[in-house]
Amino acid sequence: MATIRPFKGYRPKPEYAARVAARPYDVLNSEEARAEAAGNPVSFLHVGKPEIDLPPDVPIYDDRVYQKGKENLQKLIADGILKEDPKPCLYLYAQTMGDTTQYGIMGCASVREYLNNTIKKHELTRKDKEDDRTKHVRVTNAHTGPIFLTYRASRPIDTIVEGIHLRKPEYDFIPPDGVRHRLWVIDDANVINSLVGEFSRIDHLYVADGHHRSAAAARVGEERAKGNPRHRGDEEYNFFLAVLFPHNQLRIMDYNRTVKDLNGLEVGEFLARIGEIFDVTEGPHPAWPSRKGEYGMYVKGTWYTLRAPGDLLADPDPVERLDVSILQKEILGPILGIDDPRTSKRVDFVGGIRGLQELERRVNSGEMAVAFALFPTSIEELLSIADAGKTMPPKSTWFEPKLRDGVVVHFLS
């Protein structure tokens, strides 16, 4: 059974919601966050990426950064920007991108269920990033951005959700990226109990996006439990902020790779090595993958299309036949010398929302030597791998639209 628990959320007054809600901390670098928050002192980027309020030479993992995040969060409360709901609630969070809308129930998921694998994972985390979010939760005493969970769609839950979104939402705003965000407060005890009961019939939840945040929430929850001699199991630190979406509403985009150098190879040698395994053709320009097993590659101002042989796509292991796995084991590892993409500083990841022009820009600037555009992983692949107890390579999925931080905050005590 899966747990979803109501809580007394801290959230912006409606007149501030659009200005407070911010893109999540991990889709912006510090410079981009500074620019986006400029002139907006209530932007939640001041909490999620508080280094923007410190001198640029302060390292992003410095203790002062986390203390600044705590200070900024408390200031939003002290200034009356964020207010606590008077009783435990659930929330309905809807996002509309283009002509599609996804509806998720926001509440608290269980640390215990994360640890016992009722909440299934599909990616390993990077230690530096997990440590960062752990420290952020520990110091702020809060989950400031929700973990994006999914579950196999349930018609009874859909029916309850359909009834809720007939009402006028508490928030309804569209940021510059064009994605519409709406939030309904669910404070009716009967509706809350119905949702809690229906989720208790769901066998498993899945981390769709937010592996570092969920791992951090679990670490802090365990720390608090061990440090509390009167630990009962129902304290707020035993639960973490999440939004739960049905799997059939989700959109996964490509998650692309860029590499700083060709591992000592000339471009001709590099192409020849790849051509020993893949069918390589020049163009189109740009080369957007149109199906599984097809890759776009940009190097030295030219796009190429790579097509993997059928035997690689027919591997019986669901992880090994992923496009990201094939790229890693056939090109990134043996040819480019990137043995562990989780720790290598020579590889970087670019979400598909940035488009192929971002791949071109990073190569043309000289920052990177080669870029790879991948066909998106499917939600069915994600669920089957998680169900098999396996993990994907890092950065296998890019979910869009992204949840906004600061819409609702959950405090651990």
pLDDT of amino acid 127? 87
User: CATH number of the domain that 283 lies in?
Assistant: 3.30.1760
Number of independent structural domains in the chain: 2
Residue 385 falls inside a structural domain: no
Please indicate, yes or no, whether residues 234 and 135 belong to a single structural domain of this protein: yes
Rounded to whole angstroms, the Cα distance separating 41 from 216 reads 27
**Residue 334 φ/ψ, nearest 5 degrees:** -70, -30
Q: What is the pLDDT of residue 355?
A: 86
Are 176 and 59 in a shared domain? yes
Let me know if residue 117 belongs to a domain: yes
Residue 399 has what DSSP assignment? E
Tell whether 221 and 265 lie within a shared domain: no
Q: Are residues 92 and 219 in the same domain?
A: yes
- Structural domain includes residue 186: yes
Tell me, what's the pLDDT at 343? Answer: 84
Question: What's the pLDDT at 241?
Answer: 98
Q: Which residues fall within 8 angstroms of residue 367, CB to CB, at 6 or more apart?
A: 258, 260
CA dihedral 7, 13, 17, 21 (to 10 degrees): -50
| Among the listed residues 390, 379, 370, the one whose alpha carbon sits nearest the alpha carbon of residue 317 | 390
Same domain, yes or no: 115 and 166: yes
Are 199 and 268 contained in the same domain?
Answer: no
Domain membership flag for residue 393: no
What pTM, to 2 d.p., does this model score? 0.88
Show the low-confidence residues of the chain (pLDDT under 70).
Answer: none
Asked if the structure places residue 332 within a domain, the reply is yes
Domain identity same for 239 and 259: no
Judge if 177 and 280 occupy the same domain: no
Does residue 327 sit within a domain? Answer: yes
Question: Could you tell me if 260 and 245 lie in one domain?
Answer: no
- Is there a single domain that holds both residue 99 and residue 221? yes
Q: What is the pLDDT of residues 327-353, one digit of tens each?
A: 999 999 999 999 988 889 999 999 888
Closest CA to 219 of 329, 129, 293: 129
Alpha carbon of 237 to those of 1, 74, 82, 145, 390: distances in Å?
20, 18, 20, 15, 28
Q: Whole domain around residue 303: which residue ranges?
A: 255-375
Quick check: is 267 in a domain?
yes
Q: Is 388 a member of any domain?
A: no
Do 58 and 198 belong together in one domain? Answer: yes
Residue 171 CB partners (closer than 8 Å, separation 6+): 12, 14, 17, 18, 21, 181, 182, 183, 407
| Residues 91 and 209 reside in one and the same domain | yes
